[in-house]
Amino acid sequence: MSAVSAATAVSIPGATGCSRVDPTTTEIVRQSLNSAANQMKRTLMRTAFSPIIFDALDFAVALYDREIRMLAQSPTIPAFMGTLSFCVEAAVEGVGGTECLESGDILIYNVPYGSGSHAQDLAIIAPVFIEDVGLVGYAVSKAHQFDIGAKNTYCTDTTDVFQEGVLFPGVKLFRAGKRVDDIYRLALANSRAPKAMIGDLHAQEVCVKVGAEALVRIIRRFGVELFHEAVEQMYTQSERAMRSFFERIPDGRYVGHSFLDDDGVSGQRIELEIAVEVIGSSVTVDYRNVPDVCRGPVNCPFPSTVSASRVAIMMLAGGGSEPNEGHFRALKILTQPNSMFDPVSPAPCYLYGWGLTQAIEAIFIAFAEKVPGIMSAESAADIASVGVVARNPQSGELLDFGPALPVGHGGRPDGDGSVLFVAGLSNSRAPCIELTEAKLPVRYQRWEFEPDSFGIGRYRGAPAWNHDWELLQDGALISTIDRTKDPSRGVQGGAGGMPNRFVLRDGDGHAREMGRATDAPLAKGAVVEIRCGGGGGYGEARDRDPQSVLADLADGLMTEPFARKHFPHAFNR
């Protein structure tokens, strides 16, 4: 990170020059790398112990070349888009640089300001060597460990990074193929759930070994020189595709706003302003007008600020393609050091994902109003996670339940919104009711849409979703819910949907609305009622197709009084 006029600026220049590689070979190399990354993904999913990895897909795997440029990243949660390069760079620096690496090494790293994540997101890095060639790249995995010694198993109220878990500042977990037992034992000694950590750590080790072996096979298949030429051509093609999209956007400065209920500690509402400047085929995302670093843990480390920008730009312009370094060459990012989106130690970062989510929404909303036809209305914009930590009364094993949940997304330029995860978690999965009830002390009471909860428009937002469950034994509450005060926003004349909501009912039926909470006592019989909010509408409600109005009425997505009030033209026939 370099300082430019008291701000951080990152850009990667485009590749130039001619390549002798034909397009067919380049595409074969591209798809071979994508396949290798997907092999890493499948390996981790099939060997991990924790559901947050194998079911919720809270991890990322990627391959990088020897210059730490992304060759391929398998689709898991987009929130880790491109941040693994920062992990590699920091971990390699931590062990003394590339000259201190050797074949068989595996590094471990999780310092938030270099990884972009909270400390639980542990990065495992395998440098890849070929005999007589030397270092050719890196295979990387970053996955959410169940517990890594933070003040709680999940935190919403930390005030410095040292409360957020044990830190590994780039050390060798394996040296020349032999495990460094001191580091391994240190990791396990700082976990409340060492059994899960052993399994997940081994799964990450196997994952990067699979990636390293696959990268070596690909390079050997094509030869070093041809492989590198094909990779340069791949980067150039991806850059060209992204630039062609932004060339169609009118030059200008597009400003978006978003919000957080609070920072987890102060209770004060946070408003964000993020600007996107398009000039020709280049785009700059400017975070210099965001709040100073927050006292609570919603600060978003610089690598995840980069990730938020990349996620938004890829979803706007990527056309569904799998990312590589070339996709990001048109993008420049500006931040203010020691701000919410570029914190420095010891600023807390545990809830970095909530700031990241709002950054993506701000970028989306900046374009949605000013450039019709390229972006949907706003979603309910939250991960909507409320859960419990308890212990198995028979085994004493720590049990954790707190899935991220889909929310209502906004109406699109060509259709209604859907209930989906927020952009940063878009490949995650909703929990399976039957599996959850079989393994955890919870019993579901409601899993249904709420009528009249979407934003109206020519294309309506998705309705809110009610997700209620009862706790069957005593435990401790963890709630990260946000955007309960600000509903989703409609665009192009559409209206907003209902905001998120969390109501806690005790065993006697007394109810209270809740926000964030960490380790609050929760008694057996308590009922957690979560409303994942509705999406905003796109376009004027008077332009909605009458048949669509009547279909929604028949499906129970709205009541007749609501329909007659907002869509009278559907009944005036």
- Give the per-residue pLDDT at 19: 54
Q: How confident is the model at residue 83 (pLDDT cuts 50, 70, 90)?
A: confident
- Give the per-residue pLDDT at 11: 37
Q: How confident is the model at residue 9 (pLDDT cuts 50, 70, 90)?
A: very low
Encoded tokens for 474: 């005593």
Q: What is the mean pLDDT of the chain?
A: 92
Encoded tokens for 256: 């978006």
- Give the per-residue pLDDT at 553: 97
Residue 495 burial (10 A CB sphere; 0-12, 13-18, 19+): buried
**pTM exceeding the 0.75 threshold for the entire prediction:** yes
CA proximity to 69, closest of 97, 89, 47, 55: 89
- Give the per-residue pLDDT at 92: 97
CA proximity to 50, closest of 298, 398, 500: 398
pLDDT tops 70 at residue 96: yes
3-state secondary structure of 311: helix
For 264-316, the pLDDT digits (tens) are 999 999 999 999 999 999 999 999 999 999 999 999 999 999 999 999 988 88
> Residue 569: which H helix or E strand, with range?
none
Contact in structure between 323 and 70 (CB atoms under 8 Å): yes
Domain range summary for the chain, segments of one domain joined by +: 23-238, 376-573
Q: Considering Cα of 16, then 21, then 22, then 25, what sign does the dihedral take?
A: negative
Neighbours of 269 (CB within 10 A): 12
Query: Stretch 429-433: mean pLDDT, rounded?
Result: 84
Q: Report the alpha-carbon distance of residue 468 to residue 313 in Å, rounded.
A: 35
Query: Stretch 223-232: mean pLDDT, rounded?
Result: 94
pLDDT tops 50 at residue 504: yes
Query: Stretch 479-494: mean pLDDT, rounded?
Result: 95
Contact in structure between 287 and 342 (CB atoms under 8 Å): yes
Query: Stretch 564-570: mean pLDDT, rounded?
Result: 96
DSSP code of residue 229: H
For 157-195, the pLDDT digits (tens) are 999 999 999 999 999 999 999 999 999 999 999 999 898
Q: How confident is the model at residue 573 (pLDDT cuts 50, 70, 90)?
A: low
Q: Report the alpha-carbon distance of residue 497 to residue 464 in Å, rounded.
A: 8
